[in-house]
Structure 1
Amino acid sequence: MDASPVDVDLALVGGGGAASLVLAALDRHDLTGLRVAVVDPVHKRGQDRTWAFWGAPGTDLDPLLSAAWSRVDVVTPAGRRDLSLAPLRYAMLRSAPVYDRAAAAERRLGAVRIAAPAGELRDDGHRVTVHDFDGRPVARAGWVLDSRPRPPRRPGRTSWLQHFRGWWLAADRPTFDPDRAVLMDFRTPQPARGVSFGYLLPVSDRYALVEYTEFSPAVRTDAAYDAALRGYAGLLGLDLAALRVREVENGVIPMTDGPFVPRPSARVVRLGTAGGATRPSTGFTFSAMLRQAEQVARELAAGRPPVPAPAYPRRHLWMDAVALRALDRGHVAGVEFFDRLFERNPAERVLRFLDGVTSPAEELAVMRSSPLLPMTGAVLGDAVDRLRTRLRRDPAVTPVVEAGSRTAGQTGS
């Protein structure tokens, strides 16, 4: 590596999914005159993760998809619900084609690849100097897009995790129905504090992803995930002795109402989970990352700063905080909560709500479908927690408010 730092217009710190989507978007907007650097010790290639998301067909991602489904099942112990997603579809995207497209975009953009782990970012208000872990400057950029994982600015009032393990199962004879996916199957044993579900995503009649997922405060052991997967495979009627586990996928995603800082300084913008792209109530991230990438490229193409809009409206973050609190404190059971969402709303509305793109009228309809009294208690409890947080930060607030918050807390918690 040269001793002098590379001088560029835009530096991407971290080269994973968020940066790959940005590179493809820059290429799509024909920003070949932009000087770009990617700072990451690892050049991502191959299959290391799978993204599943919903959206309208006919996008530039369509050629990269492994599979897509217009109908899905949501299953509870009480029965199976067959859902039409029209005009949306549920889609599976594996990482290899995303990384391949990003690599091709890198070449067309003439981007510089800096194979060093990024350390401190020093922003003087005009340019940002990217340092490696040893403190050496490796790049100077007009703007930095930082997608490295990091915790929220302060701990959330509720902090859970979406954690999962999936098996890619191969069969020698037709075993799966590639036209039908199981989006959520709540017949799995439920944790004492949280909610679990399985899902089945078949890409052909002989190859499918079977996954066990939990929303809960803590991860499980490898043995526990494997036992849960064996149990779920049994619920699906799969004979594991006749199947081969070709790949294993694991993941842990934060679900928290703790605030992330999408713009820590004048010319540093965070993307991905660090930039607020993870939906607190579900852990879903991909659709928001895709929106961020498109907005960054669009702003640069228009000669504006590459600052995307907030990933989710403030009212959605408030609803997420309330939902997390309700689930964590046991005000509502997780299976009941999600089952009522799909029972009392069109599937399209639920999926758009989970993506953070619904209107206030649609959100009111979603809220009306949740258990009213338990959720009211969660709303009051969340309000009390917010007041207490404010009191700790601002001691000038009068003690009368503190006394009132204690009373409300006894009622709402």
Structure 2
Amino acid sequence: MKPRTKLEKAVIAQSGHLRPLATAPRRWAFRNTIDHYAYRLPKGRTTCMDCGHSWLMTGHADKCTCPNCKAQLEVKETLERKCQQKSYLNVIATCGEYQILRMFLMEVKMRKGFKASSAFREIGQYWIAPDGKTALVAIPRIMGWYLDCFAFGYPMEIRKDNDIYRYISDQYLYPKFKIIPALTRNGFDGNFHEIRPIKLFSMLLSSPQAETLIKEGNTDMLKYMAYHTDEVKHFWASYIIAKRHGYEIPDLSTWYDYLRMLERFGRDTHSPKLIAPANLFDAHDKYVQKVNRQREKERREADRIRALENEEKFRELKGRFIGLVFTDNEIEIKTLDSVDEYYEEGRTQHICVGSSQYYLKAESLVFSARIDGKTVATVEIDLRTLKVVQCRAACNKVSEYQQRIENAIASHQEEIKARMTA
């Protein structure tokens, strides 16, 4: 890809002048990144696959030491004569003001009676500028399921970063490296704290928050920030206030989730009383319940709004019954005359008469039974039999007025029939 930015152009200009991989990292990679075997035949003849030396081993053992090269070997009883292994090596270096991580693929071929041979191919380079911006110079990948599907005949050019290059950059790291002064100034002391080198370098060079965390020794928060950078920056003031008041955060993930919920409800995330609860997990659970209630309310409201689109169909089905009211001199029994009334009845009575779309049931008619304007029961009758199907008080409880309501409906069946044939 053609370099476009100032950083990419500077990187390409210097990339080709890097020295080849030195001997020391090659030896370290061979010794530490692959398995080392001693192939043993059934009669005891054993061969070191590192140096090719052969000797007679009496008795079985899981481990052994080569008498010739002194390598620690894993004994493998097999008739095989060849072995091939691959691994990735990362080397951290500098070039001028840039911090570099170079990625190499090591291929090792082993054969009985011969010294193992290794070959190194450079896969790519991460260049990090003093302001934390990164550029990737690498060979391209080709289509394939395997990790090392690289087009080795292509030149090193500016490439788009992806998960494969990031994964490789997190593999075996040569323990001796050079660091630019800016990283040392910002708190890097050679410990990566289980964070990818590229991610840590970029954070330390671009984020004052990361610099503060590593200098104060808060590695747990630093590791959390590596995967939730925007979240930590957004609530940085809350963290500073909590720290100033001596609050020890029991669990970072729970605490930040709690802060997001406080913000959702418009609470002050700078209030020490709120952001530093005595029991974080109880406070978190309390707001989880609030969020669930709010989401349920929002869902019901969205259902109600969508249901209003069915108003025309409802009037086609139930229009002839609109305004039907009768009473037993105390209980007033009236039809629900709109989709909105169904939802309002469901909300006040905590029942599903609205959300379950009773207003679209062709053979069903729903009444609201009320005393002095207060709902005492929601009643459903079957229009084919004119019998009460269900009569429910609030929260689906059995209504104490059920028998009276059934008697009132039975005594007014002729009015219902008249509406049906209107």
- Structure with max Cα Rg: 2
Q: Using structure 2 for the length normalisation, give the TM-score.
A: 0.18
- Report the structure, 1 or 2, having the larger strand content: 1
Higher relative contact order (CA 8 A, sep 6+): 1
Q: Using structure 1 for the length normalisation, give the TM-score.
A: 0.18
- Report the structure, 1 or 2, having the larger helix content: 2
